[in-house]
């Protein structure tokens, strides 16, 4: 049984088919990359799996349960957590308080939530920022905070939406390291990213979306040399640069 499975999922917004008959799986322990041009429908797939949208057609299964009609808190409780493309911390709250919100999913007492949030902040390298007001973090800090908020819900599967966008090379490498360490702790990961070098290094498998449809699914090197994927998204220059890699 796969951890997450999209089965022939279609999402229609009026006249626009944002997701068109998409099927793919994420297995336990995998890091899967989700790539495709702007507007391809990647974030929509995250909103569908996390209960913020319900598909027009098709089914989504998570950890043995059909989840496409469930509400977001129920899906989060089942072990699926997501980050947001537009980072949106509760700006006037501290970094610790932001993470405590996630921790309250499993902790009743404030002191327990606080302890768990502190552990997660340690984990993502933000412990020294605990008492800082969230909106004053750098972009790299806010991206880490997004990951921390999601990790505090103790997910089995983490959906990361462009957590490396806008980061410099060093910050990107640190985020890659963090994602690998999260997986080493037993959390599976589905990650949307436009930074091709980063996603190719990070992922066990890559799924490619174009105009709402899946046009590729395979290991990174196979996807990078697939003519349809190159034509739709990667471009000849990417293939040329990485052909011998």
Minimum distance between the CB of residue 160 and ligand ATP, rounded to whole angstroms? 13
Taking CB under 5 A as the criterion, the residue among 19, 43, 153, 195 binding Mg ion is 43
Q: 63-102 mask for ligand ATP (x: CB under 6 A)?
A: ----------------------x-----------------
Among 3, 4, 18, 157, indicate the residue that binds ligand ATP (CB under 6 A).
18
- Please give the angle made by the CA atoms of 27, 30 and 34, to the nearest 5 degrees: 95
Q: Which of residues 26, 30, 33, 44 is near ligand ATP by CB under 6 A?
A: 44
Question: Is residue 191 a contact point for ligand ATP (CB under 6 A)?
Answer: no
- For residues 53-92, which are near Mg ion according to CB under 5 A? 85
Q: Which does 38 bind (CB under 5 to 8 A by kind): ligand ATP, Mg ion, none?
A: ligand ATP
Task: Work out what residue 13 binds among ligand ATP, Mg ion, none; the CB cut-off runs from 5 to 8 Å by kind.
Answer: ligand ATP
Task: State the binding partner of 39 from Mg ion, ligand ATP, none, CB within 5 to 8 A by kind.
Answer: ligand ATP
Residue 36 interacting entry, from ligand ATP, Mg ion, none, C-beta within 5 to 8 Å by type: ligand ATP
Q: Contact residues for Mg ion (CB under 5 A)?
A: 42-43, 85
């Amino acid at each position: 049984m796969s951890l997450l499975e999209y089965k022939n999922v279609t999402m229609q917004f009026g006249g626009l088919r944002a997701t068109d008959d998409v099927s793919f799986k994420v297995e336990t322990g995998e890091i899967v990359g989700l790539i495709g041009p702007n507007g391809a429908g990647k974030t929509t797939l995250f909103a569908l799996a996390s209960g913020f949208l319900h598909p027009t057609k098709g089914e989504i299964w998570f950890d043995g349960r059909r989840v496409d009609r469930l509400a977001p808190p129920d899906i989060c409780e089942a072990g699926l957590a997501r980050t947001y493309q537009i980072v949106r911390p509760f700006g006037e709250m501290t970094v610790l308080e932001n993470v405590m919100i996630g921790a309250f999913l499993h902790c009743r007492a404030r002191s327990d939530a606080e302890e768990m949030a502190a552990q997660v902040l340690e984990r993502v390298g933000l412990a020294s920022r605990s008492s800082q007001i969230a909106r004053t973090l750098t972009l790299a800090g806010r991206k880490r905070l997004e990951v921390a908020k999601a990790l505090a819900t103790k997910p089995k599967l983490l959906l990361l939406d462009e957590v490396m966008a806008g980061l410099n090379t060093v910050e990107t490498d640190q985020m890659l390291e963090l994602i690998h360490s999260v997986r080493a702790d037993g959390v599976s990961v589905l990650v949307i990213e436009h930074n091709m070098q980063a996603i190719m290094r990070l992922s066990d498998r890559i799924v490619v979306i174009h105009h709402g449809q899946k046009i590729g699914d395979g290991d990174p090197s196979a996807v990078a040399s697939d003519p349809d994927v190159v034509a739709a998204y990667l471009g000849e220059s990417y293939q040329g640069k990485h052909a011998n890699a």
